């Protein structure tokens, strides 16, 4: 496609407008021959510093907010227009896939992955076209514009054209909202799960964190809102948004029974029997089912379809040993850990809870002592270890966690995560539950510059044998 057709709102000279473009990129490492590179300013970097690398990888034109000298044409636009133009170009080069399906965006501190996965699985169970984009499918929770539109085009391209109903559910992080990664998309439904302590290294305060989330619930981004109102921030959002709102509450579920084998409850007078485990997953299911209802599915069909959904990888995933059960979960916030451990306690009232967890490096440090307090107060035995320490010394992260643990709690420390899990297995007795929290579905661990293979589930299975 010619550059003039991609940047159709700009006036380009004839030679520049005739340049053939094959793809759009904001990451110079992903550029290929005939790429169009947008030099966007990021949090800790500036795309202008990588234009040379982009050209070396094959970029044939650069779009930037200031004039620079390169061996390829440079299109200069105001910085305020750069991200919107990037989104437009990213969508245009792949044929505007956002117009060929209905989009559901889910935001919140916890539950985004589960709700988006459930929406796509429910859609497929109802014989709709369904797919999801997020933590389980991408390196980022919400991919950057070029990758997002490429992924969307691939998913929509795989849909059955004979099926009149299609939906793509997208995890929408606060960073993505703030950094305009969802520019150019209009969602049929914007959904909110909850808000609790996380990402304050980026947002500064909970008020600013909430304000970033709230920006998603505007007519520029969505047509309707589905909001969990049992969360204080959700209740506030439901009152303040200008969108039509479907309010979702735990009061919609009755006769709830959860166990390590699944959950049952009644919803809109229909029995729901699902393999999802955990009380908090009942909340996630209610949000996902409400979304499907707003998309036009019948309540009875939705309730029936919940029986065929699969457990979400790394979300209350059970690894069963002969005498000891292991629960692997992605919970990595104080509130996420609190809900997880309370759910486990409700299912094993006579056994002990042995929890292994850590905190990610180069991330919100203020939540570490609180996480130590939560886990040590709700576990019988705690082993504090490494999550993904990244560039931080693992022991320094553990020190910060330990500053919050209860003084009389039984807490051990072991920076090697495999050895920490082994300690938990050694200390567990028949009937106990071991909780491995923080990494969930992840299959690698980042320590310094090294990314090594590590899967809590695989390690647990090996040690339980």
Sheet holding 433-437, edge to edge: 317-320, 325-329, 433-437, 353-357, 381-384, 411-413
Give CA–CA dist 22/337, Å, rounded.
Answer: 45
Instruction: Compute the average pLDDT of residues 361-385.
Output: 97
**Residue 408: is its pLDDT beyond 90?**
yes
CATH 3.40.1390.10 intervals, the chain = 3-93
**Residue 44: is its pLDDT beyond 80?**
no
241-286 residue pLDDT tens: 999 999 999 999 999 999 999 999 999 999 999 999 999 999 999 9
415-443 residue pLDDT tens: 999 999 999 999 999 999 999 999 999 99
Helix (H) or strand (E) holding 216: none
192-225 residue pLDDT tens: 999 999 999 989 999 999 999 999 999 999 999 9
pLDDT class of 349 with cuts at 50, 70, 90:
confident
Q: Is CATH 2.60.40.10 correct for 317-464?
A: no
Give CA–CA dist 67/48, Å, rounded.
Answer: 10
CATH 3.40.1190.10 intervals, the chain = 97-308
**Residue 40: is its pLDDT beyond 80?**
yes
What is the model's pTM? Answer: 0.94
DSSP state of 407: T
Share of the chain above pLDDT 70, in %: 100
**Residue 10: is its pLDDT beyond 80?**
yes
Give CA–CA dist 306/117, Å, rounded.
Answer: 12
pLDDT given at position 139: 84
For residues 189-213, b (16+ Cβ closer than 10 Å) or e, as one string? bbbbbbbbbbbbeebeeeeebbebb
Dihedral sign from CA coordinates of 151, 153, 154, 158? positive
pLDDT given at position 138: 87
User: What superfamily would CATH give domain 97-308?
Assistant: Mur-like, catalytic domain (3.40.1190.10)
**Residue 19: is its pLDDT beyond 80?**
yes
pLDDT given at position 47: 94
Which of 300, 314, 241 is CA-nearest to residue 272?
300
pLDDT class of 45 with cuts at 50, 70, 90:
confident
CB 454 within 8 A of CB 418: yes
CATH code of the domain made up of 3-93: 3.40.1390.10
pLDDT class of 109 with cuts at 50, 70, 90:
very high
**pLDDT averaged over every residue in the chain:** 96
> Tokens 């849909």 sit at which residue?
159
């Amino acid at each position: 496609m010619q550059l003039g057709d991609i940047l159709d709102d700009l006036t380009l000279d004839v030679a520049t407008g005739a340049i053939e473009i094959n793809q759009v990129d904001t990451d110079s490492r992903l550029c290929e021959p005939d790429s169009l590179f947008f030099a966007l300013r990021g949090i800790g970097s500036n795309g202008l510093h990588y234009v040379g690398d982009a050209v070396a990888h094959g970029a044939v034109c650069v779009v930037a907010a200031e004039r620079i000298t390169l061996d390829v044409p440079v299109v200069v636009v105001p910085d305020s227009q750069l991200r919107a133009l990037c989104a437009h170009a990213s969508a245009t080069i792949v044929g505007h896939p956002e117009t060929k399906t209905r989009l559901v965006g889910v935001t919140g501190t916890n539950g985004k992955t589960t709700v988006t996965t459930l929406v796509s699985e429910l859609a497929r169970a109802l014989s709709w076209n369904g797919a999801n984009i997020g933590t389980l499918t991408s390196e980022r929770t919400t991919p950057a514009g070029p990758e997002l539109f490429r992924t969307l085009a691939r998913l929509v391209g795989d849909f059955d054209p004979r099926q009149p109903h299609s939906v793509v559910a997208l995890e929408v992080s606060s960073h993505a909202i703030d950094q305009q990664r969802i520019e150019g998309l209009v969602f049929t439904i914007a959904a909110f799960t909850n808000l609790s302590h996380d990402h304050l290294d980026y947002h500064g305060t909970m008020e600013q964190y909430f304000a970033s989330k709230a920006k998603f619930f505007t007519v520029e981004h969505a047509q309707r809102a589905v909001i969990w109102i049992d969360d204080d921030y959700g209740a506030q959002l439901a009152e303040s948004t200008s969108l039509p709102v479907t309010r979702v509450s735990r009061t919609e579920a009755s006769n709830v029974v959860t166990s390590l084998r699944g959950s049952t409850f009644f919803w809109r007078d229909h029995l729901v029997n699902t393999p999802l485990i955990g009380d908090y997953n009942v909340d996630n299911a209610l949000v996902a089912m409400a979304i499907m209802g707003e998309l036009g599915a019948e309540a009875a069909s939705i309730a029936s379809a919940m029986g065929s959904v699969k457990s979400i990888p790394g979300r209350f995933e059970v690894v069963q040993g002969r005498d000891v059960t292991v629960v692997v979960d992605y919970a990595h916030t104080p509130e996420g850990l609190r809900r997880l451990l309370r759910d486990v306690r409700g299912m094993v009232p006579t056994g002990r809870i042995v929890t292994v967890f850590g905190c990610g490096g180069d991330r919100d440090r203020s939540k570490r002592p609180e996480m130590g307090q939560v886990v040590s107060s709700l576990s019988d035995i705690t082993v504090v270890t490494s999550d993904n320490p990244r560039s931080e010394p693992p022991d320094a992260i553990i020190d910060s966690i330990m500053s919050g643990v209860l003084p009389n709690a039984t807490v051990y420390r072991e920076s090697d995560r495999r050895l920490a899990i082994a300690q938990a297995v050694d200390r567990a007795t028949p009937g106990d539950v071991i909780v491995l929290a923080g990494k969930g579905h992840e299959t690698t661990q980042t320590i310094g510059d090294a990314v090594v293979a590590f899967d809590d589930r695989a390690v647990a299975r090996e040690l339980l044998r």
